[in-house]
Structure 1
């Protein structure tokens, strides 16, 4: 990841210094140029893909089209086709991921679905480009809505106290990635894998280690992004909130990958639920989309359906079990709910940590006691 390299550290320092030296009117263009530099530093393939995305947004959002709703639908359909093609190429043709493209698609969806056409007439071109290419969130999010981003950019002021908090947050991120994930988990504890001599325990500990590494790496990069943005006087939303302490599956998804799960809730689950009035179908659809957003493959499709079914079961339990509300008042039940939620999440890692569905099923069979 670029933030761990000398280039990334220098980039953060230079961007922050230039940002506060420039007049406010030029800051969006500095952020846009900084994002372009990161994309160019990644690869020429990333440059071409990003150029195509920006050109499509300029075509859809730039002019004030007469048939506003139709152009919006065409724009969203184009994004969907482009992203599906990208995911297919990445999963089945061995194409390397383009820098931040999965998160850029979500931002582009926001711009088209919520703001539509007429960006040039309304003077939003600089703001839209800086939103799309915002350097702190370019790589791995968090995904912020355009209106919230624009207000933060307008309110940005130098604050020594905020700068202190930003540096502290960046340090937390580096500690999670370098010390906890890369040193403690990957280096010191790697040798413990398979040493227990018990196939069930080895499988379980492997999934637990996978989940911890995923959490420390991803939340660490988000900490750096949040701190970097705060150095620029801008607050961006949290992406993780102690997810492994969740007491239910819906609570877990309010704590894990928050901005992407909120996007999926607003643009997939709610419209689906409004039309079908079927919570289970809406949950399955929403989590299926979330799974395929990560990777266009059977294992991520199965992962999405697994979580979607889990959310549906929890909803039915909470809604129809007459004693469900009363049970929540007991500490023992709250502890049991936390434990069961954690085990469900750890089991789901069998799907995403395995290269094939067959291997994932083998792990689940071992953990369920069906493997002999």
Structure 2
């Protein structure tokens, strides 16, 4: 079941909301939490019911592990922590990386002319990376003595909570448990409905009206063996760059909006990352809760910057390489993570030598180009295809112009240029693709983001100011008739645009 589906919008969500608030009238605070936990498990089982026992087993083992860590003292606490973390990592390794390991070994064996390993029929459970990382953070917080709430129902809801379960954000126990235990959240509140539905519609529009319309321009150029020429490569790579941006941004908004309907605030997970002036800032803005997890539970655990520059650079590279592997089991993801690790090392070395760049235009432009180049490996099916597309951006596959521009042949010939009008093979110049791409670029670089639009109503747990000047007051959401009519019209446009329901790109991780 997808957030952008009719079954979710007009069947699942109304029933879950009604049950939650009706049970909130019972005076028994655990009943609404239990209902929401059961509804979240149903939501997960709708995708693949056979993995619900796996999710429940993971929740139970980690809950008991957290309780045991809290009860132990001395070295026994660390032994229990290591055992519990190992169990989580082994589960993730089997389901997410077993096929990758077998395929890599077989590729090496084939190159050496030797026999390989038999293939494995392991299917990746959806959302396993998110609920595993959420519980790893819980276990470490238990070890640090930062966990005070151990009610099993609340813990089940904390892990399985449907707005975040499939594609994040990665939650912290201390942020969510007090909200689940707050009886005030089990009573309907008009303000939460107005804000939550508005944020949800904004995210739905990003997904349905922008991201899904960019997808047809990106898919063909990333097909293996497509061999795009310069113009095709640039359009396809830019289309994917902004498709991913609005797809993930849309999901984050929809998750925050849905959660707000239940009176619960999620942490912000997206903050205009293409406006970043360097790679470090990009990672403070893109998938913010994952960046927080990698920093707090991996980079700092490796030593952070405490042991000199060389080790700091090593820790940055290791953190990003593992972050790349977290996103996907493939060498393309390893290269993507390695590129970002290299970017961070170069940035740190540059700042150490020359200080922070003061220019207003080239740091964000260079950062965006570096991020876009890395997205090629993130999206490509294999390394060879990624290299081919990256080369095509610089003209390695030649230049061809759309057939619709053949009328320019004579004027161009006067200038000594006689190009071939082979066509941009996979784009219709009269379709919505190019206008939507231009709109997406304008919105990503110039428009206020969701937390800026809703700045007066604190959309997430934390408040993030983009800059001192938040734009014109007209861009700040207010519970007025004008804003209501605008979002109602946007919702209707989304409904008419939901003729093809597509998954969110981050669902595969």
Q: Under a length normalisation based on structure 1, what TM-score does the superposition of the two structures give?
A: 0.88
Moved more, 344-353 or 3-12: 3-12
The runs of 4+ residues in structure 1 deviating greater than 6 Å are 117-122, 190-194
- Which residue pairs with 1:61 in the alignment? 66
Q: Is the 8 A contact 2:215 2:240 kept in 1?
A: no
Supply the distance in 2 between the matched residues of 1:191 and 1:85 (Cα, whole angstroms): 29
Deviations 1:73-120 (A, max 9, x none): 110011111111111246555744323211001111012111159999
Q: Is the 8 A contact 1:207 1:353 kept in 2?
A: no
| Structure 1: gaps of 5 or more residues | none
Moved more, 28-37 or 71-80: 28-37
Q: Does 1:216 align with 2:246?
A: yes
Supply the distance in 1 between the matched residues of 2:370 and 2:51 (Cα, whole angstroms): 36
Residues 201, 11 of structure 1: alpha-carbon distance in 2 compared, 3 angstrom cutoff: same
**Pick aligned residue for 1:170 from 190, 193, 200:** 200
Moved more, 300-309 or 83-92: 83-92
Residues 94, 365 of structure 1: alpha-carbon distance in 2 compared, 3 angstrom cutoff: farther
Supply the distance in 2 between the matched residues of 1:120 and 1:336 (Cα, whole angstroms): 45
Number of residues paired by the alignment? 361
Deviations 1:133-155 (A, max 9, x none): 11111121112201110122244
Find the residue that maps to 1:4 and give its secondary structure: coil
Residues 117, 44 of structure 1: alpha-carbon distance in 2 compared, 3 angstrom cutoff: farther
**Pick aligned residue for 1:26 from 21, 31, 50:** 31
**Pick aligned residue for 1:265 from 295, 298, 305:** 295
- Residue 299 of structure 1, CA deviation: 0.8
Q: Does 1:254 align with 2:284?
A: yes
- Which residue pairs with 2:116 in the alignment? none
- Which residue pairs with 1:115 in the alignment? 142
Supply the distance in 2 between the matched residues of 1:118 and 1:307 (Cα, whole angstroms): 33
Supply the distance in 2 between the matched residues of 1:144 and 1:253 (Cα, whole angstroms): 17
- Residue 370 of structure 1, CA deviation: 5.6
Find the residue that maps to 1:162 and give its secondary structure: helix
Q: Indicate the structure with greater helix content.
A: 1
Residues 232, 368 of structure 1: alpha-carbon distance in 2 compared, 3 angstrom cutoff: same
Q: Does 1:71 align with 2:100?
A: no
Q: Is the 8 A contact 1:100 1:138 kept in 2?
A: yes
Deviations 1:9-47 (A, max 9, x none): 222222222222223232221221112111221113322
- Which residue pairs with 2:374 in the alignment? 348
Find the residue that maps to 1:47 and give its secondary structure: helix
Find the residue that maps to 2:268 and give its secondary structure: coil
- Which residue pairs with 1:300 in the alignment? 333
Supply the distance in 2 between the matched residues of 1:58 and 1:357 (Cα, whole angstroms): 40
Q: Is the 8 A contact 1:90 1:97 kept in 2?
A: no
Q: Is the 8 A contact 1:19 1:27 kept in 2?
A: yes
Q: Does 1:105 align with 2:132?
A: yes
- Residue 218 of structure 1, CA deviation: 1.6
CA RMSD of aligned residues (A): 2.7
- Which residue pairs with 2:45 in the alignment? 40
Q: Does 1:4 align with 2:9?
A: no
- Residue 191 of structure 1, CA deviation: 11
- Which residue pairs with 1:360 in the alignment? 386
Moved more, 9-18 or 256-265: 9-18
Indicate the structure whose relative CO is greater, using CA pairs within 8 Å and at least 6 residues apart. Answer: 2
Written as runs of structure 1 = structure 2, the 5 A alignment for 1:130-279 is 130-155=157-182, 156-157=184-185, 158-182=188-212, 184-186=213-215, 199-272=229-302, 273=304, 276-277=307-308, 278-279=311-312
| Structure 2: gaps of 5 or more residues | 104-119, 399-509
Supply the distance in 1 between the matched residues of 2:340 and 2:228 (Cα, whole angstroms): 28
